[in-house]
Structure 1
Amino acid sequence: MITQEQAALDTRQVKATLAALQLIERLRAKHGPVLFHQSGGCCDGSSPMCYPQDDFIVGDRDVRLGEIGGAPFYISPSQFEYWKHTQLIIDVVEGRGGMFSLENGEGLRFLVRSRLFSDAEYARLQAGGRV
């Protein structure tokens, strides 16, 4: 039986703020279905990038973390190893988006915030085979 404490655990590996969800909806209205990819690296590569679903080829080894605002969110395998113990929280701040990311020109950009999973949350992810 699941305890109330276990039920309260939020083990989504990716989620989005209200501001991010609103921007995703605006981008979807302009561009159709979208997806996100977090590849890591410097510059634009360290930001979550938003693409039209038909314009981005997801790698065979990329990890699907979940969905935000109905958009699938993928991460490269090396970044997944680095971030698997954290929950990624996609937010929006003022500024220019990544050169190839759909929010470029909107005056806003997506940003990753994160929090470490608790020991109980991480154990739940492991039990579910998600890490």
Structure 2
Amino acid sequence: MTNRVDITPAAAAVVSKLIARHGALIFHQSGGCCDGSAPMCYPRGEFHLGSQDVYLGDIADTPFYMSAFQFEYWQHTHLTIDVEAGRGSGFSVEATEGVRFLTRSRLFSDAELLALAPLAP
């Protein structure tokens, strides 16, 4: 099976640190607006998923979602969540750490598309 979303070791280390501080987390790929298209990280329970949010998988023991509208554009794209120094969104929990999560993407190969796991309902 091919994952739709993965995480770099550096970003996973930040997630581990954030889980120790905030408890269980959730990622939601922002679709634009104030913070651009950034992966947003929230304490689980503080971000309310809608019926149109699509679950893409878990990264670093943390579920990752995006809106169905955005998924229509990104469904052929593999996402890798990374981290870099800098100021990210004030809404995402890593903002106080002096780092920001970012999404790196590439198109799936034909073989990867065939091996994608079906989306969970």
**Which bin holds the TM-score, normalised by the shorter protein?**
over 0.9
**Mapping 1:22-37, distance limit 5 Å:** 22-37=13-28
Higher relative CO (Cα under 8 Å, sequence separation at least 6) belongs to 2
Unaligned runs of at least 5 residues, structure 1: 1-9
Aligned to 1:4: none
After superposition, give the CA deviation of every residue in 1:8-60 in whole Å (9 maximum; x if it has no partner): xx610000000110000000000000000013114414100000001111111
Which of 35, 46, 49 matches 1:44? 35
CA distance in structure 1 between the partners assigned to 2:38 and 2:66 by the alignment: 11
Corresponding residue SS for 2:65:
strand
Letter of the structure 1 residue corresponding to residue 59 of structure 2: I
Alignment partner, residue 77 of structure 2? 86
Count of residue correspondences: 119
Tell me the C-alpha RMSD between the 2 structures.
Answer: 1.3
Give per-residue Cα distances to partners, 1:43-99, cap 9 Å, x unaligned: 414100000001111111100000110000000111111111011000001111211
Distance in 2 (CA, whole Å) between partners of 1:21 and 1:120 is 27
Aligned structure 1 segments of 4 or more residues deviating by more than 3 angstroms: none
2:27 maps to a residue whose letter is F
What TM-score, normalized by structure 1, do the two folds share? 0.85
**Structure 2: 5+ residue runs without aligned partners?**
none
User: TM-score, with normalisation over the residues of structure 2?
Assistant: 0.92
User: What's the % identity of the aligned pairs?
Assistant: 57
Query: Max radius of gyration: which structure?
Result: 1
Tell me which residue corresponds to 1:110.
Answer: 101
Distance in 1, Cα, partners of 2:53 & 2:41: 15
Q: Residue 120 in 1 paired to residue 101 in 2?
A: no
Q: Which residue of structure 1 aligns with residue 67 of structure 2?
A: 76
**Partner amino acid for 2:14?**
L
Greater fraction strand: 2
Q: Which moved more, 1:116-125 or 1:16-25?
A: 116-125
Aligned to 2:118: 129
The SS at the match of 2:79 is strand
- Select which of 5, 13, 16 maps to 2:7: 16
User: Secondary structure at 1:81's aligned position in 2?
Assistant: helix
Of 56, 66, 91, 1:65 maps to 56
